[in-house]
Amino acid sequence: MQNYIETEGTTVDEAIERALTELNVARADVTLDVLNEPTKGILNFGAKPAKVRATLREDAATAPDTILKELLTRIGINADIELEVIDGNTHLNMTTDAPALLIGKHGQTLDALERLLNCIVNKASEVKNRVFIDTEGYRVRREQSLVELAHQVATKVRHTGREVVLAPMSPRDRRIIHLTLKPDNVVNTYSQGEGDLRRVIVTTEEP
The reported pLDDT for the residue numbered 28 is 75
The reported pLDDT for the residue numbered 3 is 62
A 10 A CB-CB count for 124 gives 8
Question: CATH homologous superfamily for 62-136?
Answer: K homology (KH) domain (3.30.300.20)
Q: Tell me the fold of 140-203.
A: Ribosomal Protein S8; Chain: A, domain 1 (3.30.1370)
Nearest-5° Cα angle at 115, 112 to 120: 125
Q: For every residue of 181-200, which 3-state class applies, written as one string?
A: HCCCCCCEEEEECCHHHCEE
Question: Is residue 68 classed as helix, strand or coil in its secondary structure?
Answer: helix
A 10 A CB-CB count for 164 gives 16
The reported pLDDT for the residue numbered 1 is 42
Does the pTM exceed 0.85? Answer: no
Structural domain boundaries of the chain? 4-58, 62-136, 140-203
- The residue length of the chain stands at 207
A 10 A CB-CB count for 54 gives 23
The reported pLDDT for the residue numbered 111 is 93
pLDDT along the chain (207 residues), means of 10: 76 90 78 85 72 75 82 89 80 92 91 91 65 94 96 96 94 96 95 92 87
The reported pLDDT for the residue numbered 198 is 94
